């Protein structure tokens, strides 16, 4: 039987790779250069699923994903929350006292800023965390280190100098999973439905568009806006609501949303993560 594949953005050892291996243990992971290529892998049938980070409770939403969500033809089929643990690592024969520089993605560096300063290290931006780990392994320099995942340290055979270097311990990233088709989920499950829409150019259109959810006692857990053109004149909204799309109350609320929207689309529905509890 052919092994299923889940794609992610980054190289082996990236945090997305770690999350893929955590939640899809029977799948083979497929590293991709960009978010678009990660999603394209599913569209083209190369992968069964694509896992993408969309927001972090410290760094905020992930850049570029909102524009992709508005255009995407795939369906959101799952959500996962993962506690990010940043580790300081170097070549196995290099002690911490000899380290002067630390390489990592800008978000990882900012999330470890206080501890980096305590260790008197010079932070250096790198394209991603796993790439930084690979760079340290391949470099001829002996005074450099990387901040990356435990998985990256194992793959690139680096020694962990300091575990959990992040300044805050509640560093959580939310990931969405994409597929060509939506799953079948029983109505008695707690379900999240994600929707993207543009409001009509009339007064209080957003207020009126969302009013149907309040009237039908449906909870919104997420509301975000983002510009969809370069002149900042048009923007879209993404909402997550706690309801199965086949629920009668949801259909009534959606009817109201439609009447005040110039366009809308259901991105997908999926079982709510246990993390929400």
Q: Looking at residue 8, what is its pLDDT?
A: 97
Q: Please, where in the chain does CATH 3.40.190.10 lie?
A: 5-82+171-179, 87-162
**Among 8, 135, 175, 264, which one carries the catalytic annotation?**
175
Question: What is the pLDDT tens value at each position of the chain, 277 positions in all?
Answer: 789 999 999 999 999 999 999 999 999 999 999 999 999 999 999 999 999 999 888 777 776 777 787 788 999 999 999 999 999 999 999 999 999 999 999 989 999 999 999 999 999 999 999 999 999 999 999 999 999 999 999 999 999 999 999 999 888 999 999 999 999 999 999 999 999 999 988 889 999 999 999 999 999 999 988 776 665 566 789 999 999 999 999 999 999 999 999 999 999 999 999 998 7
Q: Looking at residue 216, what is its pLDDT?
A: 97
Q: 5-82+171-179, superfamily in CATH? A: Periplasmic binding protein-like II (3.40.190.10)
Answer whether CATH 3.40.190.10 is correct for domain 87-162.
Answer: yes
Tell me the three state secondary structure of residue 49.
strand
Q: Looking at residue 232, what is its pLDDT?
A: 57
Do residues 270 and 175 make contact, with C-beta atoms less than 8 angstroms apart?
A: no
Q: Looking at residue 228, what is its pLDDT?
A: 64
Q: Looking at residue 229, what is its pLDDT?
A: 61
10 Å CB burial of residue 186 (0-12, 13-18, 19+) is exposed
Q: Looking at residue 231, what is its pLDDT?
A: 58
Residue 227 is a catalytic residue: no
Q: Looking at residue 144, what is its pLDDT?
A: 98
Do residues 256 and 216 make contact, with C-beta atoms less than 8 angstroms apart?
A: no
Tokens of 101: 């520089």
> Any idea which fold 191-272 has?
Alpha-Beta Plaits (3.30.70)
Instruction: Tell me which DSSP letter residue 240 carries.
Output: E
Instruction: Give the C-alpha separation, 151 to 85, whole Å.
Output: 11
Rg over CA atoms, the chain:
21
Do residues 156 and 103 make contact, with C-beta atoms less than 8 angstroms apart?
A: no
Instruction: Give the C-alpha separation, 104 to 272, whole Å.
Output: 32
Q: Looking at residue 58, what is its pLDDT?
A: 79
Residue 173 is a catalytic residue: yes
**Among 29, 38, 129, 173, which one carries the catalytic annotation?**
173
């Amino acid at each position: 039987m052919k092994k299923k594949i889940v794609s992610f953005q980054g190289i082996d050892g990236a945090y997305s790779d770690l999350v893929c291996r955590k939640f899809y243990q029977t799948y083979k992971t497929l590293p991709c250069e960009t978010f678009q290529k990660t999603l394209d892998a599913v569209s083209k049938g190369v992968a069964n699923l694509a896992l993408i980070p969309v927001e972090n409770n410290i760094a905020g939403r992930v850049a570029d994903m909102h524009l992709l969500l508005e255009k995407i033809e795939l369906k959101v089929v799952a959500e996962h929350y993962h506690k990010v643990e940043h580790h300081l690592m170097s070549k196995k024969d290099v002690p911490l006292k000899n380290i002067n520089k630390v390489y990592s993605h800008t978000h990882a560096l900012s999330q470890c800023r206080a501890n980096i300063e305590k260790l008197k290290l010079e932070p250096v931006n790198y394209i991603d965390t796993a790439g930084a780990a690979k760079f340290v392994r391949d470099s001829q320099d002996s005074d450099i280190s990387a901040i990356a995942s435990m998985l990256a340290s194992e793959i690139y055979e680096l020694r962990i100098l300091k575990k959990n270097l992040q300044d805050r311990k509640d560093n959580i990233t939310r990931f969405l999973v994409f597929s060509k088709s939506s799953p079948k989920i029983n109505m008695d499950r707690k379900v999240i439905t994600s929707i993207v829409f543009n409001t009509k150019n009339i007064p209080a259109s957003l207020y009126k568009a969302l009013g149907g959810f309040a009237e039908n006692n449906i909870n919104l857990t997420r509301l975000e806006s983002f510009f969809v053109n370069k002149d900042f004149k048009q923007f879209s909204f993404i909402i997550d609501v706690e309801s199965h799309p086949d629920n009668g109350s949801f259909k009534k609320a959606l009817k109201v949303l439609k009447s005040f929207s110039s366009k809308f689309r259901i991105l997908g529905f999926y079982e709510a993560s246990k993390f929400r509890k």
